[in-house]
Homo-oligomer: A and B are copies of this chain.
């Protein structure tokens, strides 16, 4: 019963097969492999963006930090929510890669609104050279609390950014989960909604460690390439990144896995609702933030369930008191395990 994260599960067998297949003969390194040419074409096709600059890195933090550093100046501030991965979980990597840019926190939730975003941007009056300059807006889709922006919401946010001539970055660590939740196209969720650069995640959705970064303005590509190399994120044996991404996009595997992950999450949510869980917000993709009585958590943990608690110790306190937790489903978790978890939660 592993609900700790969507990075604790296995790599999809078809991805492993692709790696095995790529492991034959010789290939030029550093992105000059023939597989990468195919991946680039495929991603341009998927995004309906024939000129996009496309790159691969191995971690989501690298994708985010390098993309933001390309969009931001060191004297800028980047707009994101207080729970953004770039704010909370990257150990100052965005500050490091950007050469010292600041992060301005928008609103108090996992989702920005056009109102909170506008207020935050206006709050950063630039006052000439004295304050930080207004920099990129970074939107996480699926958010770090499992919510999904509608296309309408996305467009409202990017409209605000456009009002101030600010570039927009989409942290798509769970891009596929959002896409299948919305039932829209990659183009609609990105450049057609005025997004300039995307971290297109794969690692949380069945890959071993591969993320694409896509710039819809190819003029930003060369700077990104230099930043990637300088950041030590250019792989010599690059074909093994390419192979993962090629398998991911072949025959809709990426969507299939995301659909499965979201479906698993729905099954779990429905079960937990029946078990009396209180939800922090409506699960829309593959993550649940909910509260269960402390004694329920104790029982689940005793049975070996793996997931993160939020907001208090497990051991002490009233057994009936609700205690928050985060539950994440990937494509691989079986219905049986979900059902067993739910049974334990109910009993």
For chain A, give the interface size range.
35 or more
Chain A contact residues, CB within 8 Å of chain B: 2, 4-5, 7-11, 16, 19-20, 23-30, 57-62, 65-66, 73-77, 88-93, 95-103, 105, 127-133, 203-204, 208-209, 225-237, 240, 306
Cα A90 to Cα B66 in complex, Å, equals: 16
Which of A23, A59, A95 gathers the greatest number of chain B CB atoms within 10 Å?
A: A95
How many copies the complex holds: the figure is 4
Contact assessment for A74 and B96 in the assembled complex, using a CB-CB cutoff below 8 Å: yes
B58–A29 contact, CB under 8 A? no
The SS class assigned to the A binding surface is loop
Taking a contact as CB atoms under 8 Å apart, the answer to whether B29 and A5 are in contact is: yes
A-B pairs with beta carbons under 8 Å apart, 9 shown: A4-B26, A8-B26, A8-B27, A61-B234, A74-B96, A74-B230, A91-B131, A92-B132, A129-B226
Contacts of A93 in B (CB 8 A): 229-232
Interfacial chain B residues near A58, Cβ < 8 Å? 58, 209, 235
- Say whether B59 contacts A75, CB under 8 Å: no
Q: Which residues of B contact A26 (CB under 8 A)?
A: 2, 4, 8-10, 306
Give A95 Cβ to nearest chain B Cβ, in Å.
4
Known contacts A93-B231, A230-B92, A232-B93; decide if A208 and B133 are in contact (CB<8 Å). Answer: no
Give Cα A24 to B332, complex, Å. Answer: 11
Q: A57-B232, A60-B236, A92-B101 are in contact. List 8 more A-B contacts (CB 8 A).
A: A2-B26, A4-B26, A5-B29, A11-B23, A89-B131, A97-B232, A129-B225, A209-B240
Give A332 Cβ to nearest chain B Cβ, in Å. 8
Residues of B within 8 A of A76 (CB): 92
Which of A9, A209, A236: most chain B Cβ within 10 A? A236
